[in-house]
Structure 1
Amino acid sequence: MADQPTHHRGDQPTRHRNALTGAGRLTRLALRRDRVQLPVWILATTLLAATTHASVRKQFPTEAERITVLRTAVDAPAILMLRNAPTGTGDGDLMAFQILAFLAVLAGFMSTLAVVRHTRQNEETGRAELLGSTAVGRYAALTAALVVTAGANLVLVGLLTLTLVGNGLPVAGSVAFGLGVGAAGLTFAAVAAIAAQLSQSARTANGIAAASIGIGYLVRGLGDAFGQVHADGYTMTTAWPTWFSPIGWATLVQPYAGNRWWVLALPAALVVAGLGTALALNARRDLGAGLLADRPGPATAARGLLSPLGLAWRLQRGTLLGWAVAVGVFGVTVGSLSGAVEQAFSDSTGAARTLRELGGGSGSLVDAFYAAMLAMVGAMVAGYVVQALLRVRAEESTGRAEPTLATATGRLRWLGGHLVVVLLGAVALLGLAGLATGLVAGLTVGDLGDRTTDLTVAALVQVAPALILGGFVLTVFGLLPRLAVGLGWAGFTLSLVLGQLGELLNLPRAVRDISPFSHVPALPAAELSATPLLLLGAVAVALGGAGLLLFRRRDLA
């Protein structure tokens, strides 16, 4: 009888070593690919924390002004939804109140995009199959993505800590602040690792990860909005929903106000469980396939798909619907605060000054508030335009555009279909935001007609910077397609920081003018001027036209 194979206890570690073969080289490859993107994310997040700290010290120098601002916040659930529950009046406390939850969101997006980029995107584009034909283990690609992402978060934690300590904040609180942000990033990295195993496309995986970040932010906001106010009237204990949010865990550490280190055990446990789940799922699927199979479409296409415009609408409608829900909820929230704004901010000269600086106008506090909030809507819609137009790069890089353009459909018709859908979508989103804000505000103050008209017009003028950024994305897509995604989001981020925060950060006027957001009339706090809008429109048309011509003349990449 033939000898039976003998299994030794040493075989299992050998199999694990084989499964990780090549992880080190794939890590170096991922670091090379991300040598620009990850440093930009890390430095921008750190800079935002530093500038927020400087702004807090400048805008609210006295204890009385800080107490007034925080009392206003605890009385306004919408503010707590956007910030987080206040824990004190110190520099660190106030900075954490204003920016900690948002920094956790940034760390989450940095992490999820990196994980998906080095896992599902490599499989979708065929790079993983080429690498898999060599001596690469089953878990090597996922391990490399997680190592790079974990390293990026550790660097972020270190830079945040050093920056805040260097600005004079306590060491322990600064470490807690950085660890809270880094823990959120690692938690969502684990979520993205699972999403990459479930879906068959990088777009779907990124969508699942982004939805988890949005839900985490919303759940955290609900917990803070329904928290219990302390006897002092300006600090709070958050409600139970916050404990179910990875972003909420970052705020529950309470840097500078208690430094509750044990809370970090929650994201640590979720990270371990998430990574274990991702590795287990990775072992159960075929390369390039997802555990959630795509649903087959109908046997025959609808008539609308027979035109480039109809195809663009089919591809873009889901993104537009998601943004419509977001801006609609935001508009209703802003409109509901109209009755309390002037009373809340009139007692603090620092808060009123900050509000007018954000609003960019010299009118009443209420009008300045609307101008500031609608400028935020304009930034949101500009983000939609960048995201939606970058879809054409995804269609090209995955090879779906090539068979379409091999038919009688011309390049300009194909790209023009996406452009029309995105531009009309941007106008629709701004109109929805203005209408929702105006209707709720008008019902609140009893001036429905005028308030609705004024705020709808004020929202629609915000389309100008969105058009500029859309033209910039098209130009980059036509000239440097491989860098379109990175440069597109970099242009958006730079414009946002210079235009929306430039006044608060005391940046020179010439620097702020680089951003298209700096040239939009701050309606309804300022007078409507057609000249800057026409100039912005002309620049947008020039950039868009250049992008179309460049795409027409280059090869598909």
Structure 2
Amino acid sequence: MSATALRPADEAAPGSAPRPRRTADPWTGTRRLFLLNLRLDRLRILVWVLALGGTVWATVLALETTFPDGQSRQARATLLDNPSAVMMTGPAFGVDDYTLGAMTVNELSLSVLVATAIMSVLLVSRHVRAEEESGRLEVLRALPVGRFAPATAALAAVAVADAAVGAAVTAGLVAAGLGGADALAWGVATALTGLVFGAVAAVTAQLTEHARTASGMAMAVLGAAFLVRGIGDVIEPRGSWLSWFSPLAWAQQTRLYVELRWWPLLLSAALAVLLLAGAVGLAQRRDLGAGLRHARPGPAAAPASLLSVTGLARRLLHGTFTGWAAGLVLFGLAFGSLADSLEDSLEDIPLITEWLAMDVDALTESFAAATLSYLVLGVTAFAVSGVLRLRGEEESGRTALVLGAGVSRPRWFLGWCAVVGVQALLALALSGAALGAGVTATTGEARWIGELTLAALAYLPAVLAVAGLTAALVGVVPRAAALSWAVVAYVVFVSWFGVLLDMPEWAAELSPVRLTPLVPSEDWDAAPPLGLAAAAVALVGAAAAGFRRRDLLA
């Protein structure tokens, strides 16, 4: 028998490179991968932590300034009688004695919970499925890394992110003067809710072989949880039996700043553990790179539209556009239906005219204009995500394949940007029409649908300016493209808190949305939108020129 046959399988031949030893421990390497994931996501986590913690802190201060006494807060509580308000905020606790804490929780907690859930879904999909889809996980597993180590490290990193957001929420409440056990409970509820939906994403990552499909399925579960909770809370303002089928309701049922109870959070913790165990079990039943649900084969022949750059871009952005458009329409209808509640509460809340810059002589117009400016923020975020998808196509290698087929770089880049621009226009029109339909449903005046649709289109240059800046970063400085989200965050901050915090005019006017006239309550001024449109064209032109000259994946 030869010496080679007697040599152990993991021992290298003389003179050759040593082979990595296999390990029987399925969690080998978890600690190092965990630290690597935290390093890779340190900026993303920091942005989420600062954004949510800062939002909580600023919202408490804003509500305290706008509703300084019990009378004004009780008037505000009457708005929770509207089913649309309950659908978009949650159960109405403590309305008989509406304290600042109860008001903050009722009006902000759902937004914080949903945002944390979205963060968790995106992070889990990125580390569990995207790494596997790209092939990097297969390379990693060739090293002395246990079978469970990558997924365990990813989920541990997401748990740290959730804990950091929860701590930021608690810190924001304490800094704003709402400390105590309730502040701690809100932070814990936020972290556990994020962990629940992170575990949901871990399960969906086992079902499909594509990261976007996995995150989309998890987002659909989040949407269903939102809808179930909303319908349940409309049935009974303090939460009906149906509400308890939603993990979002469990966090809100802690009844913060009213009658604190911790036990609903045990449901969140238990569900997170069950889902994570289920994800581990499902992972044992599939091959690396595959999903339990086989992908459907595509049609034998592609439609003619996919033979063009714009057709391909439209197909790739279809899911993102549909999701954003559906959310904006839902919010537009819900907030539009609140228009009939303003006159009853305005006398008791005089400071609201300063907070929202409302004209008491044209209350409906002012309310519609202010609400429309908030919906535009969602369209802006969609436009930025659509342009950043272009960078994602480049990093995945698909852009190289398209260019290798004979498509010129300017044609690819400008065609993609054109599709994003058209979809942003459609999203604005849908947002304005939905808001107009909500106002019409409460006032009985059908004119609002047309007026608010046209008013929404006035914000197109502002949206395109932010998208153009994103395109410039992608085309010229691609490694800094993610900074475009900082621009979106600044625009949101100016819109929400600029007036309340008495921000300097020059600082507020750095926001393209702020430069746009607040139609239909303000007179139209063509100069700012034309300037923004010119800036958008210049930025996209510079972006296309930069993309043409630089290397791919630069």
TM-score scaled by length of structure 2: 0.90
- 8 A Cα contact 2:233 2:240, kept in partner: yes
- 8 A Cα contact 1:362 1:525, kept in partner: no
Match of 2:86 among 80, 85, 89: 80
* Deviations, residues 142-191 of structure 1 (Å, cap 9, x unaligned): 10011111112222222332332343324111111111111111111101
SS of residue in 2 equivalent to 1:128: helix
Matches for 1:68-217 after TM superposition, within 5 Å: 68-73=75-80, 75-88=81-94, 89-217=98-226
How far apart in 2 are the matches of 1:480 and 1:247?
39
SS of residue in 2 equivalent to 1:413: helix
- 8 A Cα contact 2:170 2:179, kept in partner: no
Displacement after TM superposition at 1:196 (Å): 1.6
**Deviating 4+ runs (over 6 angstroms):** none
| 2:29 aligned residue | 22
- 8 A Cα contact 1:476 1:483, kept in partner: yes
Report how many residues are paired.
529
- 8 A Cα contact 1:129 1:287, kept in partner: yes
SS of residue in 2 equivalent to 1:173: helix
Displacement after TM superposition at 1:514 (Å): 2.3
How far apart in 2 are the matches of 1:499 and 1:17?
55
Moved more, 137-146 or 86-95: 86-95
| 2:524 aligned residue | 528
Q: What amino acid maps onto 1:418 in structure 2?
A: W
Q: What amino acid maps onto 2:423 in structure 1?
A: G
How far apart in 1 are the matches of 2:185 and 2:493?
26
| 2:543 aligned residue | 547
- 8 A Cα contact 1:352 1:365, kept in partner: no
- 8 A Cα contact 1:72 1:345, kept in partner: no
| 2:48 aligned residue | 41
CA gap 1:157/1:332 in 2 versus in 1, 3 angstroms: closer
CA gap 1:441/1:109 in 2 versus in 1, 3 angstroms: closer
Note if 1:476 corresponds to 2:452. Answer: no
Displacement after TM superposition at 1:439 (Å): 4.5
CA gap 1:491/1:126 in 2 versus in 1, 3 angstroms: farther
How far apart in 1 are the matches of 2:62 and 2:437?
33
How far apart in 1 are the matches of 2:373 and 2:474?
27
Matches for 1:368-517 after TM superposition, within 5 Å: 368-439=366-437, 441-442=439-440, 444-449=442-447, 451-484=448-481, 486-517=482-513
Give the superposed CA RMSD. 2.1
SS of residue in 1 equivalent to 2:209: coil
How far apart in 2 are the matches of 1:42 and 1:530?
38
CA gap 1:16/1:111 in 2 versus in 1, 3 angstroms: farther
SS of residue in 1 equivalent to 2:106: helix
- 8 A Cα contact 2:196 2:268, kept in partner: yes
Note if 1:556 corresponds to 2:552. Answer: yes
Displacement after TM superposition at 1:217 (Å): 2.4
- 8 A Cα contact 1:388 1:422, kept in partner: yes
CA gap 1:284/1:344 in 2 versus in 1, 3 angstroms: same
Q: What amino acid maps onto 2:487 in structure 1?
A: G
Displacement after TM superposition at 1:208 (Å): 1.8
Q: What amino acid maps onto 2:276 in structure 1?
A: L
| 2:9 aligned residue | none
- 8 A Cα contact 1:253 1:264, kept in partner: yes
| 2:233 aligned residue | 224
How far apart in 1 are the matches of 2:331 and 2:164?
34
How far apart in 2 are the matches of 1:243 and 1:121?
32
How far apart in 1 are the matches of 2:323 and 2:194?
23
Note if 1:54 corresponds to 2:61. Answer: yes
| 1:245 aligned residue | 246
How far apart in 2 are the matches of 1:352 and 1:553?
51
* Deviations, residues 201-230 of structure 1 (Å, cap 9, x unaligned): 2211221222222332232222333324xx
CA gap 1:308/1:522 in 2 versus in 1, 3 angstroms: same
| 2:352 aligned residue | 351
How far apart in 2 are the matches of 1:324 and 1:106?
18
TM-score scaled by length of structure 1: 0.90
How far apart in 1 are the matches of 2:174 and 2:382?
36
Moved more, 378-387 or 432-441: 432-441
CA gap 1:470/1:143 in 2 versus in 1, 3 angstroms: same
Displacement after TM superposition at 1:363 (Å): 5.7
Q: What amino acid maps onto 2:378 in structure 1?
A: M
Which runs of no fewer than 5 residues in structure 1 stay unpaired?
A: 1-14, 229-236
- 8 A Cα contact 2:353 2:360, kept in partner: no
* Deviations, residues 492-548 of structure 1 (Å, cap 9, x unaligned): 222212233322344333332222221111111111111111111122122222221
Displacement after TM superposition at 1:455 (Å): 1.3
* Deviations, residues 251-295 of structure 1 (Å, cap 9, x unaligned): 111111111100001100110001101111122222222222211
| 1:232 aligned residue | none
CA gap 1:546/1:225 in 2 versus in 1, 3 angstroms: farther
CA gap 1:444/1:31 in 2 versus in 1, 3 angstroms: closer
CA gap 1:437/1:111 in 2 versus in 1, 3 angstroms: closer
SS of residue in 1 equivalent to 2:181: helix
SS of residue in 1 equivalent to 2:524: coil
CA gap 1:133/1:482 in 2 versus in 1, 3 angstroms: farther
Matches for 1:249-288 after TM superposition, within 5 Å: 249-288=250-289
SS of residue in 1 equivalent to 2:500: coil
- 8 A Cα contact 1:173 1:256, kept in partner: yes
SS of residue in 1 equivalent to 2:25: helix
- 8 A Cα contact 1:439 1:452, kept in partner: yes
Which runs of no fewer than 5 residues in structure 2 stay unpaired?
A: 1-21
SS of residue in 2 equivalent to 1:147: helix
